[in-house]
Amino acid sequence: MDSIKDFSLGIIGLGTVGTATIKLLEEQLVNITKKSGKNIIIKAISARDISKPRGININKYDWEESPIKLTEREDIDAIVELIGGSDGLAKELAYSAIENNKYFITANKALIAKHGYDLNFRISNKTVQIYYEAAVAGAIPVINGIKDGLVANNILEIYGILNGTCNYILSDMTNNGKTFEESLAKAQELGFAEADPSFDIEGIDSAQKLVILGLLAFGIEPDLNKVYVEGITSISAEDIKYTNRLGYKIKLLCIAKLVENKLDFRVHPVLCTSESITAGIGGALNAIFIKGDYSKEITFIGEGAGAEPTASSVVSDIINAARSSKSVNNINLLNSNYEYINIMSRKGKYYLRFIVKDVSGVLASITSILNEHSISLDSVIQDGNKGEDTQFIIILTHLCDELDIINAIKKIDNLETIINKSYLIRVENI
């Protein structure tokens, strides 16, 4: 019988995910060997600081000062990059690994969102492959789901809750009455948030993950600058209260659709009905709904952030790389790009929040401007603001054009009775 071959790793980055990856590889070594058919060996590691306490024994591995050298070593088959960042060292490692015929495994969404198309293009005539399951939705095997499980389909649309931090914040504000700041601090403590949490709460992290799914589903070269991105920083405790009262929950939703040969890619808060599956996705969970022409709708739900769920995907990629006998790239890359749809052409229902002076006629002045713009109303809440001379006016519209809403809000914001800039949330039927 042939002896089992080695598959040697160079791991770069020993933060929480890097450490959890090593732990998982060590704990599951026997199973992993059986499942991959190779001896997976951690040959060398590299990180910024050798002496940082990590709760694992790294002395048994070769320490390499220069991460780039790992990509050039003859005795390494795969580079596992867990440092992050769209450019700089992470990018250098990716290109050098491919150049040197090493498998490249990463959890780095910023890198793949920016350079994933080109990296996929570069491996098309190589024997190696790139893997980035951990870059989108933590433990959920959505990348493999699209690349392999759904490969027979044309993907028609993808909806997703792709940021654990935002979902945690919105759930915590809804279920436990916490403020935005309290919930964000807790998400940071639990290790979901990025080093710079503005990437999470401004929607950038979600948009990066969305364009990676877009690359896989539609073969396009993603352009983050053309994606409409709005985070959750303007959502207040009152919005949570009033949307609940109207029978909705607020979620930060990612949408990727191909509509009449144009890309409808966007990230923004949405209202979804309290009975929907989307509304039930709580805590740091992620969910992805994919519609294929033959598969119909598929739903993935699971842990979208945290060291162990992410390590689960990194190690799955390592095992898949070790098994691989790649001959084709399984993304059908397109040479031409589609145009992106402008958010202004959206048609839908809207939740509108106005904070106004508590004087007579204020509601009438708002509704008459909405009426001038052909916006008809579904529900109205007028509610006093305790101890203040102000009130909240909450309006849920019927179906209307985004352009009309934006123009109406601009006029309303000029009214002398308006105290704060008005805020809208789109309602999505998901």
Q: Which residues are catalytic?
A: 209
Least Å distance, CB 182 to ligand HSE, is 17
Q: Which of 103, 180, 192, 350 binds ligand HSE (CB under 6 A)?
A: 192
Q: Which of 17, 113, 142, 193 binds ligand HSE (CB under 6 A)?
A: 193
Task: Candidates 162-170, 217-225, 271-279, 335-343: pick the segment binding ligand HSE (CB under 6 A).
Answer: 162-170
Least Å distance, CB 132 to ligand HSE, is 12
Query: What is the 8-class DSSP label of residue 66?
Result: -
CB of 142 closer than 8 Å to CB of 166: no
| CB closer to ligand HSE out of 214 and 292 | 214
Residue 47's SS3 state is: coil
Task: Candidates 21-29, 161-169, 317-325, 411-419: pick the segment binding ligand HSE (CB under 6 A).
Answer: 161-169
Please count the residues of the chain: 430
Is 200 among the residues that bind ligand HSE (CB under 6 A)? yes
Is 304 among the residues that bind ligand HSE (CB under 6 A)? yes
Task: Candidates 13-21, 45-53, 169-177, 188-196: pick the segment binding ligand HSE (CB under 6 A).
Answer: 188-196
Question: Tokens 């397109």 appear where?
Answer: 334
| CB closer to ligand HSE out of 192 and 265 | 192
Interatomic CA distance for residues 130 and 113, integer angstroms: 13
Beta strands in 243-295 (DSSP E): 248-259, 262-273, 285-292
Task: Report the 3 state secondary structure along 122-174.
Answer: HHHHCCCCEECHHHCCCCCCHHHHHHHHCCCCCEEEEEEECCHHHHHHHHHHH
For residue 369, give the H/E element and its range.
helix 362-372
Q: Which two structure tokens, joined as six digits, stand for 280? A: 């039930």
| CB closer to ligand HSE out of 36 and 163 | 163
Interatomic CA distance for residues 56 and 26, integer angstroms: 10
For 191-216, letters b (16+ CB in 10 Å) and e give bbbbeebebbbbbbbbbbbbbbbbbb
Q: Which two structure tokens, joined as six digits, stand for 163? A: 């940021």
Is 132 among the residues that bind ligand HSE (CB under 6 A)? no
Is 239 among the residues that bind ligand HSE (CB under 6 A)? no
Task: Candidates 18-26, 189-197, 210-218, 275-283: pick the segment binding ligand HSE (CB under 6 A).
Answer: 189-197
Residue 88's SS3 state is: helix
| CB closer to ligand HSE out of 10 and 138 | 138
Question: Tokens 């923004």 appear where?
Answer: 268
Task: Candidates 91-99, 187-195, 380-388, 397-405: pick the segment binding ligand HSE (CB under 6 A).
Answer: 187-195
Residues that contact ligand HSE, how many (by CB under 6 A): 11
Q: Which of 67, 160, 164, 269 binds ligand HSE (CB under 6 A)?
A: 164
Q: Which of 161, 305, 362, 427 binds ligand HSE (CB under 6 A)?
A: 305
Q: Which two structure tokens, joined as six digits, stand for 271? A: 């209202």
CB of 253 closer than 8 Å to CB of 268: yes
Least Å distance, CB 377 to ligand HSE, is 36
Question: Tokens 């939740």 appear where?
Answer: 351
Beta-bridge partner residues of 187: none
Task: Candidates 170-178, 192-200, 318-326, 374-382: pick the segment binding ligand HSE (CB under 6 A).
Answer: 192-200
Is 165 among the residues that bind ligand HSE (CB under 6 A)? yes
Instruction: For 267, list phi and psi in degrees, rounded to 5.
Output: -130, 120
| CB closer to ligand HSE out of 14 and 123 | 14
Interatomic CA distance for residues 303 and 110, integer angstroms: 19
- Beta strand pairing status for 285-292 and 155-161? antiparallel
Closest CA to 340 of 199, 218, 164: 218
Is 194 among the residues that bind ligand HSE (CB under 6 A)? yes
Is 287 among the residues that bind ligand HSE (CB under 6 A)? no
Is 133 among the residues that bind ligand HSE (CB under 6 A)? no
Least Å distance, CB 102 to ligand HSE, is 24
Is 422 among the residues that bind ligand HSE (CB under 6 A)? no
Site for ligand HSE in 205-224 (CB under 6 A): 205
Least Å distance, CB 187 to ligand HSE, is 7
| CB closer to ligand HSE out of 10 and 164 | 164
Residue 275's SS3 state is: coil
Binding site for ligand HSE (CB under 6 A): 138, 163-165, 192-194, 200, 205, 304-305
